[in-house]
Amino acid sequence: MKKLLALLVVGLGITGAVVASQPPVSAMGLTGGQNSNYIKADEVVDGSAFLAGESVTVDGTIKGDLYCAAQDVTVTGTVEGDILCAGKTITLAGKAHNVRVAGQYVHVRGSYTGNVSAVAQSVDMESSARIAGDLTGGASDISIAGVVGRDVVMSSSSFILTGQVARDVTGRYETSRITKDATIGGVFDYTSDKDADIAGHVAGTVVRHAVPAEERSSPLRDAEQLAVWMLGCVVAAVVIAVVAPRKLRAITTLRNGQDILAALGIGVLAVFVAPVVCLVLAFTVVGIPLACIGVVAWVALVAVSWPVVAYYMGQRLFASRGLKPVVTTMCGALVLAIIGLVPVVNTLVMMSAIVFGAGMTVYAVRAEHAKPRRHKS
């Protein structure tokens, strides 16, 4: 078990530090301060740039590809190769060939000679944007006001087209609207239970496919799936308590409020930041093996987070009863499962449990390996 936990930390550490371990290139790391990466407007990078930090800003020219990961990414300059970035807010207002980005909010304003792929909560292509190739990806909300030179293949809850698409628009949209100034040069083929609001021009046919019955959600089906999932979590928690009770005690031993805050902070980084780093790595040939290791480590860490939190909660609620680790874990898991059946609250409980459990695991392993070793005299 000790080796397994160590592997989780090592895997996440590798994915988080890969940018700093890449071979030398023309631009890498912090170029404009401790928490920012800034390529000035008059700066020319002769090669590819690997940037990571709190923010990344590219106003200059990169004669290669741009690989970046930051909370805020802004590109107003010229990237002669491809852009492969991940962050919370990504603003693309420059020039590049192909673009592959993942974030919470993606704003597209520039000109791109290839394809643009975006996965985000919101994708906003403004009227000044020009994409010579395809626009693909998925988001909760998608708005296209610019010009797409070929096809649009997206999936979203809300799809609004006010610009021009030269060829086809396909995808799955809960609601879709084609405004009066919008044009589609080919067909509009979409899957939805609602008819699209079409006021613009569609040169080809408009085809709507109904959502298959087996894919439609219902309160009863959702409750059944949630109940099965919760039962599986309870069983998994009990199994880990049987296999490694001492490790559960060690991981959940938080001495004070400072330890709790540290575990929560580490959990946020491990659960949310590590997948973004893996996504960026997956776009590079060198980084693919590291991305695979990181994904495996991340999945394993998330898997053990629930049993860890179940044992922690059982300890806090039933400490005075002197229960065995297995019983303590089962009680804590059942409490979490019951709370998880409450609508709305269950999402918050699930995410909090994963973050806190992952944080406690990484924090405990980190503390264990930080202990000074005794040398024999």
Residues 154 and 294 in one domain: no
The answer to the question of residue 111 being in a domain is yes
Distance (Å, whole) CA 59 – CA 43: 8
Residue 29: what pLDDT? Answer: 45
Q: Tell me: do 360 and 299 sit in the same domain.
A: yes
Q: What is the mean pLDDT of the chain?
A: 79
Looking at per-residue pLDDT, the higher value among 17 and 249 belongs to 249
27 occurs within a structural domain: yes
pLDDT at 35: 42
Q: Within this chain, do residues 134 and 163 fall inside the same structural domain, yes or no?
A: yes
* Same domain flag for 203 and 280: no
Q: Is residue 2 part of a domain?
A: no
Domain presence at residue 7? no
Q: Residue 54 pLDDT more than 50?
A: yes
Sign of the C-alpha dihedral, residues 99, 65, 295, 9? Answer: negative
Provide the domain count of the chain: 2
**Residue 26 pLDDT greater than 80, yes or no:** no
Q: Do 223 and 205 belong to one domain? A: no
Q: Give the percent of the chain with pLDDT over 70.
A: 77
From 166, 187, 214, give the residue that closes a domain. 214
Q: Could you tell me which residues come within 8 angstroms of residue 50 by beta carbon, excluding any fewer than 6 positions away?
A: 19, 22, 25, 27, 28, 29, 67, 68
| pLDDT average, residue stretch 237-241 | 70
One domain, residues 39 and 180:
yes
Query: Do 41 and 171 reside in the same domain of the chain?
Result: yes
- 285 shares its domain with 354: yes
Band the pLDDT of 244: cuts 50, 70, 90. confident
Between these two residues, 255 and 302, which has the higher pLDDT value? 302
**Helix/strand number for the chain, H first, E second:** 8, 25
In this structure, is the dihedral angle defined by the CA atoms of residues 17, 23, 25 and 31, taken in order, positive or negative? Answer: positive
pLDDT at 143: 96
Q: Is residue 376 part of a domain?
A: no
Same domain, 144 and 88: yes
Confidence of residue 377 (pLDDT cuts 50, 70, 90): very low
Q: What is the pLDDT of residues 280-301, one digit of tens each?
A: 777 666 777 888 888 888 888 8
pLDDT band with cut points at 50, 70 and 90 for residue 182: very high
Q: What is the pLDDT of residue 369?
A: 66
- H runs (alpha helix) in 22-155: none
pLDDT of residue 121: 87
The answer to which of 98-102, 146-150, 169-173, 175-179 has the lowest mean pLDDT is 98-102
E-assigned strand segments in 25-148: 27-28, 36-39, 44-45, 49-58, 61-62, 66-75, 78-79, 83-92, 95-96, 99-108, 111-112, 116-119, 122-125, 130-131, 135-138, 141-144, 147-148
- Residue 357, pLDDT > 50, answer yes
Residue range(s) defining the domain that contains residue 124:
19-214
Both 111 and 196 in a single domain? Answer: yes
Grade residue 106 by pLDDT with cuts at 50, 70 and 90.
Answer: very high
Identify the pLDDT of residue 340: 66
Tell me: pLDDT of 41 over 70: yes
Q: Tell whether 1 is covered by a domain.
A: no
Q: Which of 189, 214, 239 lies at the terminal end of a domain, its last residue?
A: 214
Q: Does 12 reside within a domain?
A: no
Give me the mean pLDDT over the 119-130 stretch.
Answer: 93
In a domain, residue 9? The reply is: no
**Are residue 198 and residue 325 in the same domain, yes or no?**
no
Residues 209 and 86 in one domain: yes
Non-local CB neighbours of 11 within 8 Å, separated by 6+ positions: 293, 294, 296, 297, 298
The per-residue pLDDT for 372 is 57
Of the given ranges (242-246, 261-265, 268-272), which has the lowest mean pLDDT?
A: 242-246
